[in-house]
Structure 1
Amino acid sequence: MDMEIDFKNYQLSHELRGHEDDVRGICVCGNAGIATSSRDKTVRYWVPDPTDKRKYESSKILLGHSSFVGPLAWIPPNPDFVEGAIVSGGMDTMVFVWNLSNGEKFLSLKGHHLQVTGLVLDDEDIVSCSVDCTLRRWRKGQLVENWEAHKSAIQAIIKLTSGELVTGSTDTTLKLWKGRTCLHTFAGHSDTVRGLAEMHGLGILSASHDGSIRLWSLTGEVLMEMVGHASIVYSVDSHVSGLIVSGSEDCSAKIWKDGACVQSIEHPGCVWDVKFLENGDIVTACSDGAVRIWTSYQERIADPADLDSYVSQLSQYKLSRKRVGGLKLEDLPGLEALQIPGTTDGQTKVIREGDNGVAYAWDLREQKWDKIGEVVDGPEDGMKVACS
């Protein structure tokens, strides 16, 4: 693919509905399907809809975690698992292996003391990381080794194509591992390293609570720093085309090309996880319970009705969050409140006009409400009136 191709904006392709709470994790299972994890304690497995190539349908719901589920990994089909398997880790400290043929729990891996935050497959082994600061290696259902890898919570782990493991931690560093040996510590973020990904042929991507994304060479140089999110960056992923996607607390997924943000996709909630599909489409996990697929291919864009529905989900969400003088905008009275006369001269009233709060003062002599101006939130939820 020629990298000089103009970047085409991503648009909504499909919404996967079923989770009843925040969707926390996404695992792309080759071309077979997509697994998602949620605060609703379930893992869901979605497969392409045979009748519409844009869509996915729910295939399995994996039940067994007793608290919210985070990291996921996929085991491709093998003699033990004809349709492959899913590995999931939870707030309940457990790691489960699920057989996708029947949706049943195949293995329970017990050992972590706190929340499981990351999972990778290392040949036949599963390696898990946790808020308990340890890495644990499981082989055929048994713990074969574990070690303290950081002095603070480990938040993420990936396996590089070259075989090494990389961890990211609340101690603000990344560590590169060959077996139990730390080959390098990457220092530079000013807050928790929350998400990791490999950028093919270039190095390691890290997403941080400091709001930035970094690309590091394996020897520790910062090759690129991507700044643009307004809050914690939870996740990052890259595509062979050279595009990078990131998900943040600021309710957006951002797409980066050569270090610059080329698109910001607004969401009706926090974006917990982002992943590329092989074809370049993007999957996002949002706190509103929806998994969404975004595409830059015309033939995969959602129908106009679905696009409109998304626009209204967004505006509803913004309305529900908008505060005026410390009050929720949606709780303010409408224009009809101006039919009620004031009682004292200069009495003020804030009403909702469209998406804004507008202040009025009662003019006792004229017996009418005078518009003072739009209300904007001042510091500490105090009220400021922008005089019109």
Structure 2
Amino acid sequence: MSLGSSSSFKLSAQLGGHSGDVRAVAASSSTPIKLLSASRDGSARVWTQGSGGRFDGEPAVLTAHTGFVNSAAWLRTGSGLVALTGGQDGIINGHSSDPVSGEINNAPDYMLLGHLSNVCALNVWQAEKDEESYLVSGGWDLTARVWRDFKQAAILEGATQAVWAVQPIGPSHVLTASADKIIRLYALPGIAEDIDDPDKAPSIEPCATFVGHDDAVRALVSLDSNRFASAGNDGNINVYDLPAPLPGGKPLSKPISPVATLSGHTSFIYSLSKLPSAEILSSGEDRSVRVWQGTEAAQTITVPAISVWAVTALPNGDLACGSSDHVVRVFSRSSERQADAEAQQAYDSTIAGQALNKTQVGDVEKDSLPGSEALTTPGKKEGDVKMIKAGALVEAHQWTQGQWVKIGEVVGGVGSGTKKLHEGKEYDYVFDVDIADDAPPLKLPYNLTDNPFIAAQKFLERNELPMSYLDQVVKFIESNTEGKTLGQGASEYVDPYTGASRYQSNASGNAGASGPGGYTAGSNVDPFTRSETVSKPKTSILPQRAYLDFKNLNTSAVKSKITQLSDGLKDQGVTPELQTIAKLLDSLASSGSGSGPLDLGALEVLLQRWPSDSLLPVLDTYRAAVLRPITTPRETAAQIVLDAARWSEPWPSDAAQAKARDTNSMLALRAIANLWANATKEERDRLAGRVETVSMSSSLSTNTFPKLSKNARVAYATVALNYSVYLTSNLGSVAWAGALLDLLIDILSTESGEPEVAFRALVALGNLVSAPL
């Protein structure tokens, strides 16, 4: 069997820069070729092919999403390319290209709203006439959606779990693949008039279904006008014939089975693509990209990462993949585009030196393994793995392109990083929780990015269990996750005021506030985007009833910073109760609710006495602490942080003072948002009675708001949103509803381009409209 090319794929480039798993890659059909990568670090990147055909330049970085970015696609329009990204925030962003330079705009030109949860799949039907092209998206809200001219044109329903993949089939049909193991075919409506109201987009049921997978279906690719392939968690690639003619009205009565199955992967398959040579590409949890010709694997490319989340074919016959080690890699059959011999050797050495967990290769009985003599026997097929004894080590070798290639050394232990599925969605853990001897265990899904308190609370609410179990469930999560966290790394930020410490609030967050000197404070995590079970989708996201908050605190860094600042302020006679504050920080670090409410008196003394440019760690601690029960009345705490930030005073003209004011204002606003988030009904009623904290627009509406940094404005809009959430759950008139309306109008008329500020303000405005006043 001859390959479509006489040579095999070899490394061309390794594109670094992401700080999280690369979940999607997409290649443009333009010249030069552009690669779009989407990552769990909250960003997408655009890599442009250089004059030598390699991707050796700096990428454009797109940071419009809140939360993970999980899907990517390109759309060609009459005015140029549009980079499309879908995220955990349920939003699809479209970034246009400059018509002259071809550079991609950092700020999105289009924001497509409709999905109620994570958008995990994007694909485009590119018609000869650009105006007839369309976009398809799939999400965790159990739907796929069709978009024409950046407006929602159809909602594809029928899936009972998350829609993981979408594939256009010409101008009139779309395939979707779901975690419910079923592939569905839909007949689209014709190109109609522009749909200005998303609620008017028609809902469509499938006209045919395809079966044959034993687990969630994660990937689709069109092979030609008559066939397509699918793959998923069962490790198989199925090939199907499309019905002829394609159904358009009455659905087919019988599901369709595959005509061929391609086997070779040893774990989940996450992605499929097709080369110009018609060969199929696949990638998955077994550290590999595989090239298929017919039903046989022609080449296995090993990647030094556990998960190869995505693979895409390039128009020039190269391929690119994104993986869990945060890297995008390009492989080529063209010697002109392949890396030099030194880079190839270094890559091969990296592969050979990988430590493979037993969970990746199966149980190993070292005493029964053969020695290196076993490598004289050829493999049975491309991709076969053989383990041998090499002294005290166990080596894994893979049969690739007619020879055995070392792919790593097998080590013990557990925890390969494989994602678990629960109700069609991915989680780092899915625990079995036994609540009674005579009852089946309950499922507790948990991601390392989740707050254990929130996960525990949702688990108890979902299973109608008493909240008195909250601490017990939190401790269960913490003990079973063994303290693992995502995204931890060394801080690169220096305190903007003293330069003497590397303290940054929320050192592990990448979405916090950023100001001069690289300061970040708190996590800008949006509760809208949390991975949670979504019921049958509705046509509206309003009213929004969940309070937003700002979690996460680097307690050890805060403690060090407060001690350092205290030493510097001793001459001024300001000596804090360091022992009391240390105990408070220890309590916050423990994640347990403790025996009673927190006493914040020591912090409140510092907020009153310390100078403004030293309040950063104090306000940040106060912000995190008010997520717990506290002894200070919440309405009083709101006023305390506003006074500490000098909220009612004119904006300072001195640059250093203005920087301190912005940082303190942001933290004060985040603290007020948090005061709402974890309060009792009585406490919220008292907060609602304090008109001062919502009528703050009087000092911000025209003068101060534009001077605030992006993250301070996001915090400001979050406070307004939380006030609107209160309105949605309280019958009767609220005296300050009119003031809140004026505030939201001020925000929307003043905001200069940060979509997250506008989005939260618009949701708050929608809450006002739908509130039972």
Give the aligned partner of residue 177 of structure 1. 186
1:276 & 1:22 partners in 2: Cα distance?
20
**Residue 161 and residue 94 in structure 1: after superposition, are their counterparts in 2 closer, same or farther (change >3 A)?**
same
Give the aligned partner of residue 272 of structure 1. 309
From 322, 333, 338, give the equivalent of 1:285: 322
Paired residue type of 1:9: S
Give the aligned partner of residue 204 of structure 1. 228
Give the aligned partner of residue 82 of structure 2. 85
Greater share of helix: 2
From 156, 163, 170, give the equivalent of 2:172: 163
CA deviations 1:301-339 (Å, max 9, x no partner) are 2111211221233234x237479xx9xxxxxxxxxxxxx
2:40 & 2:391 partners in 1: Cα distance?
34
1:161 & 1:142 partners in 2: Cα distance?
19
Give the aligned partner of residue 343 of structure 1. none
Give the aligned partner of residue 287 of structure 2. 251
> Per-residue deviation at 1:355?
7.3
Give the aligned partner of residue 629 of structure 2. none
> Per-residue deviation at 1:75?
1.6
Give the aligned partner of residue 240 of structure 1. 276
Give the aligned partner of residue 303 of structure 1. 340
- Indicate if the aligned counterparts of 2:212 and 2:257 stay in contact, CA closer than 8 A: no
**Residue 4 and residue 282 in structure 1: after superposition, are their counterparts in 2 closer, same or farther (change >3 A)?**
closer
Give the aligned partner of residue 15 of structure 1. 14
Give the aligned partner of residue 229 of structure 1. 265
> Per-residue deviation at 1:158?
1.1
Q: Over aligned residue pairs, what C-alpha RMSD do you find?
A: 3.0
Asked if 1:192 is matched to 2:201, the reply is: no
What fraction of aligned residue pairs are identical, expressed as a percent? Answer: 28
Give the aligned partner of residue 363 of structure 1. none
- Indicate if the aligned counterparts of 2:69 and 2:86 stay in contact, CA closer than 8 A: yes
What does 1:118-129 correspond to in 2, within 5 Å? 118-121=121-124, 123-129=132-138
1:6 & 1:28 partners in 2: Cα distance?
20
Paired residue type of 2:288: S
Partner secondary structure for residue 53 of structure 1 = coil
2:135 & 2:26 partners in 1: Cα distance?
15
Give the aligned partner of residue 673 of structure 2. none
**Residue 66 and residue 141 in structure 1: after superposition, are their counterparts in 2 closer, same or farther (change >3 A)?**
same
CA deviations 1:336-383 (Å, max 9, x no partner) are xxxxxxxxxxxxxxxxx98727xxxxxxxxxxxxxxxxx9879989xx
Structure 2: give runs of 5+ residues left out of the alignment: 99-104, 126-131, 189-203, 244-255, 364-389, 395-408, 416-773
2:297 & 2:180 partners in 1: Cα distance?
27
Greater share of strand: 1
Give the aligned partner of residue 64 of structure 1. 64
Give the aligned partner of residue 368 of structure 1. none
- TM-score calculated relative to the size of structure 2: 0.40
Asked if 1:99 is matched to 2:96, the reply is: yes
- Indicate if the aligned counterparts of 1:17 and 1:290 stay in contact, CA closer than 8 A: yes
**Residue 306 and residue 115 in structure 1: after superposition, are their counterparts in 2 closer, same or farther (change >3 A)?**
same
Partner secondary structure for residue 73 of structure 1 = strand
1:148 & 1:313 partners in 2: Cα distance?
45
Deviates more, 1:137-146 or 1:219-228: 137-146
**Residue 6 and residue 110 in structure 1: after superposition, are their counterparts in 2 closer, same or farther (change >3 A)?**
closer
**Residue 142 and residue 201 in structure 1: after superposition, are their counterparts in 2 closer, same or farther (change >3 A)?**
closer
- Indicate if the aligned counterparts of 1:88 and 1:96 stay in contact, CA closer than 8 A: yes
Paired residue type of 1:14: A
CA deviations 1:143-192 (Å, max 9, x no partner) are 44424231111111011235310000011111111122522100110001
Partner secondary structure for residue 25 of structure 1 = strand
Structure 1: give runs of 5+ residues left out of the alignment: 327-352, 358-374, 382-388
The structure, 1 or 2, with the larger RCO (C-alpha pairs under 8 Å, 6+ apart) is: 1
Paired residue type of 1:286: S
1:76 & 1:115 partners in 2: Cα distance?
24
Q: Which has the larger radius of gyration?
A: 2
- Indicate if the aligned counterparts of 1:65 and 1:90 stay in contact, CA closer than 8 A: yes
- Indicate if the aligned counterparts of 2:38 and 2:44 stay in contact, CA closer than 8 A: yes
- Indicate if the aligned counterparts of 1:44 and 1:58 stay in contact, CA closer than 8 A: no
Paired residue type of 1:41: G
1:293 & 1:214 partners in 2: Cα distance?
26
Partner secondary structure for residue 222 of structure 1 = coil
**Residue 155 and residue 376 in structure 1: after superposition, are their counterparts in 2 closer, same or farther (change >3 A)?**
closer
1:46 & 1:376 partners in 2: Cα distance?
35
Asked if 1:154 is matched to 2:178, the reply is: no
Partner secondary structure for residue 313 of structure 1 = helix
Asked if 1:46 is matched to 2:47, the reply is: yes
- Indicate if the aligned counterparts of 2:43 and 2:63 stay in contact, CA closer than 8 A: yes
- Indicate if the aligned counterparts of 2:116 and 2:141 stay in contact, CA closer than 8 A: yes
Deviates more, 1:34-43 or 1:214-223: 214-223
CA deviations 1:60-81 (Å, max 9, x no partner) are 11111111111112121423xx
